[in-house]
Amino acid sequence: MDKEPRIAVFGAGSIGCHLGGMLAAAADVTLIGRPAAMAALDRDGLTLTGPGRARREVRGLTLATDAAAAASADYVLVTVKSADTRTAARELAGRLAPGAVVISFQNGLHNADELRAGLPGHRVLAGMVPYNVLRSGPAAVHQGSGGALMVEDVPAAGAFATAARAGGLSLALRTDMPAVQAAKLLMNLNNAVNALSGLPLREELGTRAYRACLARCQREALAAFRAAGTAPARLGPVPPHWTPRVLGLPDAVFRRVAAASLRIDALARSSMWEDLQRGRPTEIDSLQGEVVAIAARHGLAAPANARLAALVHEAERAGPGAARRWSGPELLAALGPADA
């Protein structure tokens, strides 16, 4: 591709705006999102902040609220919640240019497959965003931690990778995306713990009782993955099967051993926390719910994940600002005995 790629972001929420705003330095970007969000961007422009880089003000983005705006895109980045993936595929079907490549930058294990099923004439690639991004204002998003995007290593990803790096995004091309997605699911099991704690991520992860809740969920997930023949990729300094043991260390020891894990913006929180604050459905069924489903298919139980899923659904029903904030010991006790 000898010109700037045309990139449409379908589902331009926090992650979508972050990706689109960064890519705008090296690509022709269209953001497709909710009317209120696009109106705020049209009025104020997009502000990006994050670790290790200057505040970036982005104007001149093409803004739209309908999938038809993706018709001329070379790449379509899908950043909707997992529950909306099939709807996204239906809305995009028949509207994309021949040869357009679709990249799923979503949580969960099955979104790329669902997009492939709904968009059979297009190459669909799996992608992964390893870091935390939250909306910091009506037209502003903040990246609260570091890491590199990951995308399937195929020739069709080449022009996107070039544009991403030129725009200041770290990006790694991987040949093992199913394993990467499994590893990301293990990481994302903390989203529920963080959302129920009501605390910034750094404070929550710095508290042993909350980490014990996460460790319980990860042990169940690792057992389910083993039964399914899935080996999560190693994405950090600690192999996935060691992580629950590291999470159980005393706070002072954990801070020394896992210093990189706590290198998070002091105000960063999980996207699930943001969803509860805004009264939006969470992705709990694609995270803890996925672990429960995999375990059940192989004759295993995942009681800690099941209990956390139930507590998040209770918080969804309570509505914005009304959900209980759980202390670490309270949440750990709510998961029941460790050998249950």
Per residue in 109-137, pLDDT (tens digit) is 999 999 999 999 999 999 999 988 988 89
What DSSP character marks residue 285?
G
At residue 252, does pLDDT exceed 50? Answer: yes
Quick one: how far is CA 195 from the chain centroid? 14
Per residue in 279-302, pLDDT (tens digit) is 999 999 999 999 999 999 999 999
At residue 80, does pLDDT exceed 60? Answer: yes
At residue 244, does pLDDT exceed 60? Answer: yes
* Burial class of residue 60 in the structure, from the number of CB atoms within 10 Å of its CB (0-12 exposed, 13-18 middle, 19+ buried): exposed
User: What pLDDT does 340 receive?
Assistant: 46
What residue segments make up the domains of the chain, in order of their start? Answer: 6-175, 180-334
CB atoms within 10 A of CB 317: 9
Side chain identity, residue 268: A
Give first-to-last CA distance, the chain, whole Å.
56
Per residue in 28-37, pLDDT (tens digit) is 999 999 999 9
| CA gap 295, 302 in Å, rounded | 6
Question: What average pLDDT does the chain have?
Answer: 94
* Burial class of residue 231 in the structure, from the number of CB atoms within 10 Å of its CB (0-12 exposed, 13-18 middle, 19+ buried): middle
Side chain identity, residue 69: A
Residue 141, C-beta contacts closer than 8 angstroms, at least 6 positions apart: 14, 17, 18, 21, 46, 47, 48, 49, 133, 134, 135
User: What pLDDT does 54 receive?
Assistant: 80
At residue 147, does pLDDT exceed 80? Answer: yes
Side chain identity, residue 259: A
Place domain 180-334 in its CATH homologous superfamily. N-(1-d-carboxylethyl)-l-norvaline Dehydrogenase; domain 2 (1.10.1040.10)
At residue 105, does pLDDT exceed 50? Answer: yes
Here the tokens at position 134 are 């939250």
Min mean pLDDT across 234-238, 248-252, 332-336 is at: 234-238
Segment 220-237 shows an average pLDDT of 96
User: What pLDDT does 264 receive?
Assistant: 79
Quickly name the fold that domain 6-175 has. Rossmann fold (3.40.50)
